[in-house]
Structure 1
Amino acid sequence: MTPEEDSGSRTLNRYRWQSRVATRDLLALLSLDLADRQRGEDPPHRVLVSERHEDWAVFNGERWWLVSAKHLDSDQGAWTLSTLMSDGGIPHLYRNYRRLPAAPGCRMVTNNAIRSAPETRLLRDLCQLEDGADATPRSPMSSEDRDGLNLTLARYLMLHHKDAGLSEEESQGRSSNVNHCKPNSDLLASSTRFLDSLLLDTNIPGRRSIIDVGPLRYVKPVLHRLGHTSTEAEAVWEALTGYVEQSMEDQLSTEDAGLTDLIRSFSTRPQDLGEEAAEKRTVTTGQALTVIERALRRPQVFLAPPLPFEHKVSVKMAVGKLESNAIQRAEDRMTVWRKTCAAEVDDSPGNHAQLQEFSDELEDRVDDLHVELRNEGVEENLFGTRLWHSATRLPPESFPPLPFRLTRTLLTGALADASDQCRVWFTPYRFDADAILLGSSGRATNAADEDGGE
């Protein structure tokens, strides 16, 4: 993959992450609707309005918030005050906030923490919505600290005056060094109001994990309120995120501050924007409920067609109700285990005997865990997950020595290899894994054909 292709892939994945975060907000609004109805109350108008992939507004009756979502990859570290004002887009959020006649709340959403450093401590103490991402408890803020934080914010707004939408008058006193910027009283007053409205929501899963976390964390509670099990949570999650993503893809005719123009259109309906543009950008809780009902009726339409199994261990884990991440890890680490054995176990005296002793011990340990789970009365649908979790966390140093150092990765691969050779099962019973393995390719092809016909 070229650097340009990698950059494009990252951008696309961030866009999809942002649409999933917006879907989380939409599900939260729908949950409020359902709670109102359960109390016998008529819910207020609740709606999600999007500009582009990074910005949207959440309306809950008379209350509403501007939201800006910024993903930070793990190799970029935590947010600093400087990056919050540049890559984090705080000045752009300020610009949208100030363009609206009625001051909304503002929320910056991110998957990463605010760095624990003197320069960001005050911002974190004042604005961070949840402190779970940072183990440091919040500290009370004095009026002097608050004034100092507001001065720092105003200076950064001057440094990024174009993104913040500052006028020539407000930009007077600007310097290329943030500490030398001298904001006037009007800008200080405006930044104070913005700071009062600002929340930093830093406890969001990253772009890889939110795909797996979303169905259970965000969809499951809504399905339970609707009287459904979480069986089709993944299909509902994919259907809703796709619907929200579509609302984010149509560009407004006004690229500059298009979200604020769209919000104004709710009351003024300007001719240059038009109702059609507003409708494309708007997702109501009623529409969300319709999408959920559609996904519950035909979940297979919204799920990727099943991939054919490549190994018997994958079949056994799938039947044992283990999820795709665990199956992928088993396949990958089984390959590592086999390559390591091939490279390190030769015909030297005792090598094969060591390997056999280790394999026997591993199988005995798994048998012990199996019996413990049966004695606990673990439900069948949790049995495989519990067995895999317990077996892969056995201390590597407690096993007989091998011709090479045993790590957790290699232990996981050895467990997968033993299962692939039908010496370990993740169900309380045995079944014909070979038949499922041979038949999976045809079923996957048929499923793909059926979905393509929708």
Structure 2
Amino acid sequence: MPQLDDSGADTLDRYNWQASMAAADGLRLYLDALDDDGRPSPNIDSRVVCEYQEDWAAVDGDAVELVSAKHRDVTTGPFTTINSLADVGGVAHLFGRWHALNETPSCRMVTTFGLSPEVQKLEKAWEKLRELRLAHQPLTVPDEHHKPVNDLCQALRSYCKELPSGWTSAAKPMPSPTDAEITQVVRFLAVLDVEAGKPPRDHLAYAAANMYVRPLCDRLRLPIDPESIWAAVHDIFYARMRKAGPIPTGKLPAVLAYRVGSTSPDTAQLERSLLNRIVTLDDIDLAVRTAISQPHGYRPLPRLQRTTKLAVKMSAGQCPDNSIERAEHLAQEYRDFWREERSGNPTARAAQARLERYLLRISDEATQSTLAEVPRGPAFWQAVQRLLAASPPADLPSGMDSELLLGGICDLTSQCKVWFSDSFDVDEAIKAIQRGRGQTS
């Protein structure tokens, strides 16, 4: 029975996507802070605070940008209404946090898909208001933007859990927004941005390194594959967004924290309590430098390549590692069997030659039946076992079984009498593997 849902893996994927978007923001802050020597300037105090107030906050000195990240699947598509943007898109929550923080931060929502034509009308309004704010001009709403701004006011009444005091609660029919409500929403829209078109979670693994790390590699003139840097930086954000970062005092108690004569904690002291949620430029720099010096530490471990003739030939046929391990073991058992037989049985050598003629016939039949298979190796491996099980020779030596017969096929492979693929220069292939190991080391 197929399972009804895959919610656990789905939730983890979305969480990983959110951490990736925060890592992209951190890399942008890091890139902007680099000086001529390729190091973060000591005069720049940028950092990312994860899972505090919002999904994360980008901080540069006193400037703060609250960021809400909302992944949308292909089946869900773009935000089609202002109500959905406020509710599911998290804009209502952004508004509540912006108000609670005395309207000091700017706000941004990142998402995978764009906005429908209805929501684009509101987008034109916040773009116009942002333009006025940056030009230090009065925030006036042109007539063509009145309706979407009013619609957002009414959506906030329904979906913002932290409505400012004095706002009218949602009702049916919904009353028209007051002048005070409109004025506050206009101020909010002037600091709002929606960044759509982020890669969806299914594409992120293939796109993230080139999208977010390649500019850094170009800036630092690094020949390194950006994948290793991306993995190192992403891991920091993934940990911090789970509050798993290090705290200098660990779990030690707060001894004498409120002694007589002490004063309220200042900003720096308060921020120290959030260390396990913060990614600093120094954190990112350390991750980048570590990935540059040890790139393989952040890549998948290289596959172990055996250099026996049997292993190289089975690998060429794309046999899985477990099959190769089993083949090596069976080939050794087959050789051990005949070594003991020949030590005390004068007819053993002839019996072995007769058996190997049979095994070569089996390998020939298996090859003929699997010529069209791509890759051929696994199909040949299975075909040989079926043929051996179906027609074992009548006069098998005492103690010989089907597993040892398969070991005989493996031993013949190591002698280059049986192939799991088209024939090739095995000795040269082994030398190439060994040269590659030398370069890696």
Instruction: Give the TM-score normalised by the residue count of structure 2.
Output: 0.58
Matched, 1:284 2:285: no
Aligned to 1:26: 26
Aligned to 1:10: 10
Question: Residues 311 and 157 (structure 1 numbering): CA distance in 2 closer, same or farther, change over 3 Å?
Answer: farther
* Alpha-carbon contact 1:69-1:109 (below 8 Å) kept: yes
* Alpha-carbon contact 1:108-1:201 (below 8 Å) kept: yes
* Alpha-carbon contact 1:128-1:200 (below 8 Å) kept: no
d(CA) in 1 for partners of 2:274 and 2:58? 14
Cα deviation, residue 241, structure 1: 0.7
* Alpha-carbon contact 1:53-1:249 (below 8 Å) kept: no
Question: Residues 52 and 307 (structure 1 numbering): CA distance in 2 closer, same or farther, change over 3 Å?
Answer: farther
Aligned to 1:170: 167
Secondary structure of 2:49 counterpart: strand
Secondary structure of 1:113 counterpart: coil
For residues 210-250 of structure 1, give each alpha carbon's deviation from its aligned partner in whole angstroms, at most 9, with x where no partner exists: 2221111211221232342132x111111111101111112
Aligned to 2:300: 304
- 1:239 partner letter: A
Cα deviation, residue 113, structure 1: 1.2
Aligned to 1:160: 159
Secondary structure of 2:201 counterpart: coil
- Aligned counterpart for 2:208 among listed residues 184, 208, 214: 214
Secondary structure of 1:23 counterpart: helix
Aligned to 2:220: 226
Cα deviation, residue 40, structure 1: 11
d(CA) in 2 for partners of 1:96 and 1:66? 8
Question: Residues 12 and 123 (structure 1 numbering): CA distance in 2 closer, same or farther, change over 3 Å?
Answer: same
Matched, 1:86 2:87: yes
- 1:302 partner letter: Y
* Alpha-carbon contact 1:49-1:281 (below 8 Å) kept: yes
- 1:104 partner letter: P
Secondary structure of 2:13 counterpart: helix
Matched, 1:49 2:43: no
Secondary structure of 2:68 counterpart: strand
Secondary structure of 1:166 counterpart: coil
Cα deviation, residue 126, structure 1: 4.0
Secondary structure of 1:200 counterpart: strand
* Alpha-carbon contact 1:159-1:176 (below 8 Å) kept: no
Secondary structure of 1:250 counterpart: coil
Aligned to 1:320: none
Question: Residues 92 and 251 (structure 1 numbering): CA distance in 2 closer, same or farther, change over 3 Å?
Answer: farther
1:14-163 equivalence runs, <5 A: 14-35=14-35, 43-51=43-51, 55-81=55-81, 82-101=83-102, 103-115=104-116, 117=117, 119-127=118-126, 143-162=142-161
Q: Percent identity, aligned pairs only?
A: 26
Matched, 1:240 2:228: no
d(CA) in 1 for partners of 2:143 and 2:78? 26
Question: Residues 314 and 197 (structure 1 numbering): CA distance in 2 closer, same or farther, change over 3 Å?
Answer: farther
d(CA) in 1 for partners of 2:70 and 2:141? 30
Aligned to 2:361: none
d(CA) in 1 for partners of 2:40 and 2:20? 30
Aligned to 1:195: 189
Which structure has the bigger radius of gyration?
2
Aligned to 1:387: none
- 1:90 partner letter: V
For residues 126-148 of structure 1, give each alpha carbon's deviation from its aligned partner in whole angstroms, at most 9, with x where no partner exists: 4579xxxxxxxxxxx97012222
Structure 1: tracts of 5 or more residues without a match: 130-140, 253-264, 316-336, 340-419, 424-429, 448-454
d(CA) in 2 for partners of 1:160 and 1:93? 11
Cα deviation, residue 175, structure 1: 2.0
Secondary structure of 2:193 counterpart: strand
* Alpha-carbon contact 2:54-2:94 (below 8 Å) kept: no
- 1:68 partner letter: S
- 1:75 partner letter: T
d(CA) in 2 for partners of 1:37 and 1:142? 46
d(CA) in 2 for partners of 1:203 and 1:23? 17
* Alpha-carbon contact 2:125-2:149 (below 8 Å) kept: no
Question: Residues 168 and 53 (structure 1 numbering): CA distance in 2 closer, same or farther, change over 3 Å?
Answer: closer
* Alpha-carbon contact 1:216-1:230 (below 8 Å) kept: no
Cα deviation, residue 30, structure 1: 0.7
* Alpha-carbon contact 2:38-2:220 (below 8 Å) kept: no
1:349-428 equivalence runs, <5 A: none
* Alpha-carbon contact 1:158-1:183 (below 8 Å) kept: no
Cα deviation, residue 312, structure 1: 4.9
Cα deviation, residue 167, structure 1: 4.6
Aligned to 2:327: none
d(CA) in 2 for partners of 1:168 and 1:433? 81
Cα deviation, residue 2, structure 1: 3.2
For residues 231-270 of structure 1, give each alpha carbon's deviation from its aligned partner in whole angstroms, at most 9, with x where no partner exists: 2x11111111110111111299xxxxxxxxxxxx995468
Question: Residues 222 and 97 (structure 1 numbering): CA distance in 2 closer, same or farther, change over 3 Å?
Answer: same
